[in-house]
Amino acid sequence: MSLIDLANPSRFLALADRALPWLVAATVLVFAFGVSQAYSAPDDYQQGATVKIMFIHVPAAWLGMLAWGVMSLAALGTLVWRHPLADVAAKAAAPIGAAFTLMCLVTGSLWGRPMWGTYWVWDARLTSVLVLFLMYLGVIALWRTVEDPARAARVAAVLTLVGAINIPIIKFSVDWWNTLHQGASVLRLGGSSIHPSILVPLLIMIAAFTLLFLTLHLAAMRNEIMRRRVRTMLMRQADARA
């Protein structure tokens, strides 16, 4: 089955229905393993138990950026190939990405209070994540402004691609400004600076969150297709009455 076959919504729905139970099961299993690993991971010698917040904070930040990446790919699919599924994928990813970005901000804020002594600082990385969150809200607002889904998809795609320039700025802002937030720790030249006893549970939690995102995204895409069907049916019904 090639990508173009998935343009048929019925085929996509059939595939989604088959894949979703497996995805849900995989998500639950990896989450159970990851949470148990995170629970048994040692406390930090300075931060104590608050270091556990990292197991939610870092995956949420990763997904906040991944969701925009998915939206950007979908935006290319919309603008270049006019793939109908790309419209649905972009629309479905926006609220999920916004939710994970908000989760990243909230957990970071709760972590910052005991560690930095404040809920919020205007550091480069915090600021750019906040801007990312605002941009998610902007894209969602754009989707909710236009009634015709195909037109909304094309316009939102332009905004998404422009916003994609923002993601490298987030990634490297720590290196540019280097203020209160710590530098890149998991992925960097010369190996990770995190001890394996914490790094391994963290990577498992990142995998679990990514699976969660895939599950939610697929389910949201299915819902969006059904919502469009309902919309078409309602319009036909209105036509028949008129």
Partner 1 sequence: MTALSALLVRDLRLAVRVGGGAMVGVLFFLLVVTLVPFAVGPDLALLSRIGPAILWLGALLANLLALDRLIAMDHEDGSLDLILMARLPLELAVAVKALAHWLTTGLPLVIAAPLLGLLLNLDPMATGAVALTLLAGTPALTFIGLIGATLIVALRRGGLLLAILVLPLTVPVLIFGVAAANAAIVGPVPFGAPFAVLCALSLMSLVVGPFAAAIALRQGLE
Q: Which residues bind partner 1 (CB under 8 A)?
A: 79, 127, 131, 134-135, 137-138, 141-142, 145-146, 151, 154-155, 157-159, 161-163, 165-166, 169
- CB of residue 61 vs partner 1: minimum separation in angstroms? 18
The residue among 26 and 79 lying less far from partner 1, judged by its C-beta, is 79
- CB of residue 131 vs partner 1: minimum separation in angstroms? 5
Contact indicator for 142, 149 with CB cutoff of 8 Å: no
The residue among 45 and 122 lying less far from partner 1, judged by its C-beta, is 122
State how far the Cα of 155 lies from the Cα of 222, in Å rounded to an integer.
22
- CB of residue 152 vs partner 1: minimum separation in angstroms? 8
The residue among 151 and 229 lying less far from partner 1, judged by its C-beta, is 151
The residue among 160 and 215 lying less far from partner 1, judged by its C-beta, is 160
State how far the Cα of 52 lies from the Cα of 123, in Å rounded to an integer.
22
- CB of residue 156 vs partner 1: minimum separation in angstroms? 9
| Residue 2, beta-bridge partner list | none
Q: Specify the amino acid at residue 177.
A: W
The residue among 102 and 155 lying less far from partner 1, judged by its C-beta, is 155
Instruction: Mention every residue, 6+ apart, whose C-beta is less than 8 A from residue 42.
Output: 197, 198
Tell me the backbone φ, ψ of residue 48, rounded to 5 degrees: 65, -145
Instruction: Mention every residue, 6+ apart, whose C-beta is less than 8 A from residue 242.
Output: none
- CB of residue 166 vs partner 1: minimum separation in angstroms? 8
State how far the Cα of 149 lies from the Cα of 147, in Å rounded to an integer.
6
DSSP 47-70: TBGGGGGHHHHHHHHHHHHHHHHH
